[in-house]
Amino acid sequence: MRLPKIRELGEALKSLFSRAYTGKYPREKVIPPDGFRGCPQFSETDCVGCLACYEVCPARAIDYVDDREKKQRVLTHHWEICIFCQQCERACITEKGIKLTKEYELAEFNRREGKSQSIKELVICEHCGGIVGCLDHLKFLAKKVGPLLYANPTLLLARHDELKLLEKQRGESSPHPRAGHLKLLCPNCRREMILKEQW
């Protein structure tokens, strides 16, 4: 019994005069190593508001609100709920819309303040007022599918909008013979419009 006690005493004395293993945080900030999973952050430019991250988040740390009046989708990341699993980053369609950072100082007096947001412009159906999606998402898809975008009028119009062609076409003095095609419509209204035209 006595031998282990003597050994422990020796270790205690040794550690008393040796350098501390612990860091001096918070007096000295710790630099996290590569691969550290810190707080995820949205990118203002690379997030297109597609909601893939919202769908995959196992902790429900991402939510969103669509405001039809302001034509805005607001995505919110609540870091007090986040478990830093990186699923959002892996599922992001642009691969840069949300990224885990090395930020770990996340303590707040009010837990509800612990959040970051991404605000995106919404496209509203010009016929029924339904939500088509985020404008940046449509533009992203239009670029991604290349020439195939001519098969999808909504993507084509989003691309024209980006190239400032849509405004010009709509402002032409003689109305476009198929003016309905220059409207941004949800899939249902688009289908109805095409059926009316055909029959």
Residue 143 in 3-state DSSP?
helix
Instruction: Please choose, out of 74-82, 105-113, 148-156, 180-188, the segment that lies near ligand SF4 by the rule CB under 6 A.
Output: 74-82
Least distance in Å: CB of 73 to ligand SF4? 9
> Which of residues 82 and 157 has its CB atom nearest to ligand SF4 in the complex?
82
For residues 157 and 172, the answer to whether their CB atoms sit within 8 Å is no
- Is the alpha carbon torsion for 23, 28, 29, 35 positive or negative? negative
- When CB distances to ligand SF4 are compared, the closest residue is 97
CA–CA distance, 184 with 1 (Å, rounded to integer):
83
Q: Which of residues 24-53 bind ligand SF4 (CB under 6 A)?
A: 40, 42, 47-53
For residues 132 and 50, the answer to whether their CB atoms sit within 8 Å is no
Q: Per CB under 6 A, does 149 bind ligand SF4? A: no
Q: Per CB under 6 A, does 122 bind ligand SF4? A: no
Least distance in Å: CB of 167 to ligand SF4? 26
Q: Per CB under 6 A, does 86 bind ligand SF4? A: yes
CA–CA distance, 171 with 165 (Å, rounded to integer):
10
Preceding amide of 187 cis, omega within 30: no
Q: Residues in the site for ligand SF4, rule: CB under 6 A?
A: 40, 42, 47-53, 57, 59, 61-62, 75, 77, 82-88, 91-94, 97-98
